[in-house]
Amino acid sequence: MPVKSPTLLPRRGARTHSENYTWDDLKAEAFGEMDMLPWNFYRMTFEEFHLKRKGLFNLRVERLHEVRLICFFAASGNLKKGTRIEQLFPLPGDKNYNKKITAERYKELKSVIEKMVPPELPKRTKNVSRAQT
């Protein structure tokens, strides 16, 4: 049974995190999410680790920008005229990123997604093998 270290580190800087960050949390993020090897992690200074973590976060946000662009073009035929990409899929760095989605907006987005999803394919009634054809 692992023992938690009493050393507390500052959280990621987001205002939503009220808990403290322990040494075990830091190692779990390094070895898990960041896929670092232990000997590379222990050789880094805290500043180097923070910069690597920030760079990986920025890389993930850039990938989400690409996904957002694809989603926007896929849904563009079903959206109201004048809908901006940031309204459909807000990301860190956007003006309205921290604003919560209203129930009305949620229903609107849900209906757009339902229009895009194809209806279920009919299920086979008879299992035909290749040998029978």
Determine, yes or no, domain membership for 3. Answer: no
Q: Which domain holds residue 43?
A: 20-116
Determine, yes or no, domain membership for 11. Answer: no
In terms of C-beta density within 10 A (0-12 exposed, 13-18 middle, 19 or more buried), how is residue 95 classed? exposed
Determine, yes or no, domain membership for 53. Answer: yes
Residue 14 has what DSSP assignment?
-
Residue pLDDT, tens place only, 30-73 = 998 888 999 999 998 889 988 999 999 889 889 988 988 888 88
Determine, yes or no, domain membership for 132. Answer: no
CA–CA dist 97, 86 (Å, integer):
8
Determine, yes or no, domain membership for 72. Answer: yes
The mean predicted confidence, pLDDT, of the chain is 76
The model's pTM is 0.53
C-alpha distances out from residue 58 to 4, 23, 31, 52, 65, Å: 30, 23, 19, 10, 11
Determine, yes or no, domain membership for 43. Answer: yes
Structure confidence at residue 91 as a pLDDT band (50, 70, 90): confident
Determine, yes or no, domain membership for 133. Answer: no
Count of domains in the chain?
A: 1
The better pLDDT of the pair 108, 54 is held by 54
Determine, yes or no, domain membership for 89. Answer: yes
